[in-house]
Chains A and B, each alone.
Chain A
Amino acid sequence: MGQRMADLSIDFAGVQLRNPVLLASGTCNYGQELLPLTDFARLGGLVTKTITPQPRGGNPPQRIVETPAGMLNSIGLQNPGLEAFVEKQWPLLADLDAQVVVNIAGFTVEEFGQMAASLEALAGIAALEVNISCPNVEAGGDNFATRPQTAAAAIAAVRSRTQRPVIAKLTPNVTDIAEIARAVVDAGADAVSLINTLVGMAIDVEQRRPVLGGITGGLSGPAIKPVALAMVWKVAQAVDVPVMGIGGITSARDALEFMVAGASAGQVGTASFANPNAGVEIVEDLYAYCDERGIDRIASLVGSLR
């Protein structure tokens, strides 16, 4: 390995990242399982699996099915709940040499605010990523992320109860994602992350039943990258806050595509399921790419689409 020259650091809405590669929510649990298999000190950070006010058991199996160049999941926000997270998961996360973004969700506007308020006393949380867009769990029918008004209401509730950077995670399952992005920024989001999974379905023809216990699930993996890229490009032009690119990032080249499209950083998700060290390998390849091409600061590539 030659001498490393490039500066991969990114200032993401005030959060100082060593490099622009984070592990996505729901694909690294709360970090502990990955400790023997990857090195958090070489990542930009990680985003926890979504925490809800109450513990959740999640959806009945089957929860996973592989699809062409992707997979569907129907986990159903299984999580220990806020109280157990603060007591058990957070102390272990706080020990990691990494920026930890905590992903939160609620089922009413008030719950979003309560989640933010309850975490405010915990030292060391880099930012809150607000899951207003999980397609797996019904919140009185609609989900918050599909309408500008409800998306904004959830974000405003979080905004009013935290001093930390607030990242609104957006769903692609909408007509105009830029409209939702503008609404959450107007409501006080410091950044947006996108995309969450696309609603999808798999059917067992022999049994004429849905494959997944939750009937529909969320599609992720390389199959959704072109969709994610187009949406990141669109949103980056619509808002003046940093954008986190998510959706099928498997290689450094994928990450660079998102940065060129306008993302300041990216999250690696499904790729970690096949290769638990995928994030670190992408970081290494980003160094190699920048060094080979004489790029001093990776930040200079953000939004550089001609």
Chain B
Amino acid sequence: MIDEQARLLSNREVAADFYLARLNAPHIAVRIEPGQFVNIQVGAGVAPLLRVPLSVSGADREAGIIEVLYEAVGPKTRALSQVGPDAALPTLSPSRQGLAAPSEGTRVVLVGCGICVPPLLYWGLKLRQRSYQTALLVGARTADKHLSNELLAPAADAVHLATDDGSLGHAGLVTDLLQNELAEKGPCAVYCCGPHGMMQAVAAICLEAQVPCQVSLEEYMACGIGICVGCAVELATAKGDTDYGRYARVCVDGPAFDARQIKWGNAWPT
């Protein structure tokens, strides 16, 4: 864990309310892994009080740069979107478990939606550098909630989009795209980031198809370093056999988990 004064290099709008911030943070850049997040202090610490956790969408170790792609939706992300270059932002690199690569030669399918796609972009790029074949499936409500092809393309050999209203790509859910992928091309390793319901659906499809699935989770948190015990996620099987192990902390026990570890709902098979 490291707390670093990151310097904002650029912060530009890349889609409707979506911003890409590049930060000089050399200590974090050398150790951050795909699927992990950074916790950024925006403002002086009373309002907003807590930091904002944001997934890292890219890192350049040599240049000491990290990138975060975020949607300006709440007070903190809106405030961050207004911060100009050269600002110093206390940035904590807290998370422990990044995404883990599949065995060599395995085909990779990345499943994300809207603004939940950033960790998959970083992961896809890394896997392609290691010669994995990757497909990226992204769902969004409408066409303008999709990131541009320029941002998505480097992460995958093939990009497939879906929109709820049919304004771009497949008219329907991103899980339809995953079902197609599995039916047409067979076994693969799936990595998923998105809202709870979408991840649950993807986890269920993967369980049924008997393909491995890792998820990068987000949960409301106060600290991001494991001390508030706020970002709890219920496990399918309690760790250590006591009630204490019923929940894991997303920030330090994750944020990446094997989808089978998570209790997605009360009826979830264990």
Chain A residues proximal to chain B, CB less than 8 Å:
26-29, 33-34, 36-37, 49, 54-66, 68-71, 73, 75, 78-81, 84, 221-222, 250, 270-277
Contact = CB atoms under 8 A, between A and B. Distances in A.
A78 B244 CA distance: 6
Interface in B217-270: 219-223, 225-234, 238, 242-247, 252
A263 B48 CA distance: 28
A113 B24 CA distance: 54
Interface in B36-50: 41, 45-50
Interface in B87-136: 90, 92
Contacts of A270: 49, 222
Contacts of B2: 36
B1 interface: yes
B12 to A, nearest CB: 27
A60 B232 CA distance: 8
Contacts of B41: 274-275
Contact of A33 (B47, B48, B252): B252
Nearest to A56: B243
B243 A54 contact: yes
Sorted from nearest, which 8 A-B pairs have the closest CB atoms? A57-B246, A64-B230, A55-B244, A55-B242, A273-B223, A57-B243, A33-B226, A273-B222
- Contact-residue bracket for chain B: 35 or more
A27 B46 CA distance: 17
Contact of B230 (A33, A73, A275): A73
B19 to A, nearest CB: 20
B50 A66 contact: yes
A143 B81 CA distance: 44
B229 A78 contact: yes
B68 to A, nearest CB: 18
Nearest to B41: A274
B51 interface: yes
Contacts of A60: 232, 234
Contacts of B232: 58-61, 63, 75, 78
A187 B241 CA distance: 38
B222 A73 contact: yes
Contact of A29 (B49, B90, B229, B243): B229
Contact of A78 (B47, B225, B227, B247): B247
Interface of B: 1-3, 41, 45-51, 90, 92, 219-223, 225-234, 238, 242-247, 252
A260 B243 CA distance: 43
A71 B50 contact: yes
A64 B231 contact: yes
Given A81-B244, A274-B49, A276-B225, 18 more contacts: A33-B252, A34-B227, A49-B229, A55-B242, A57-B244, A61-B233, A62-B220, A66-B48, A66-B50, A73-B230, A75-B229, A81-B242, A272-B223, A273-B223, A274-B45, A274-B50, A276-B3, A277-B3
A64 B234 contact: no
Contacts of A57: 238, 243-247
A188 B3 CA distance: 43
Contacts, number: 123
Contacts of A59: 232
Contacts of B242: 55, 80-81, 84
Nearest to B48: A66
B244 A63 contact: no
A84 B234 CA distance: 20
A294 to B, nearest CB: 29
A70 B46 CA distance: 8
B229 A222 contact: no
| From B48, B234, B246, B247, residue with most partner A Cβ within 10 Å | B247
B46 A222 contact: yes
Nearest to A73: B230
B35 to A, nearest CB: 20
A33 B50 contact: no
B6 to A, nearest CB: 15
Contacts of A58: 229, 232, 246-247
Nearest to B222: A273
Contacts of A28: 227
Contacts of A75: 228-230, 232
Given A57-B244, A66-B50, A250-B45, A273 B219 contact: no
Contacts of B46: 69, 222, 250
A34 B48 CA distance: 22
A271 B50 contact: no
A33 B246 contact: no
A275 B233 CA distance: 24
Nearest to A35: B1
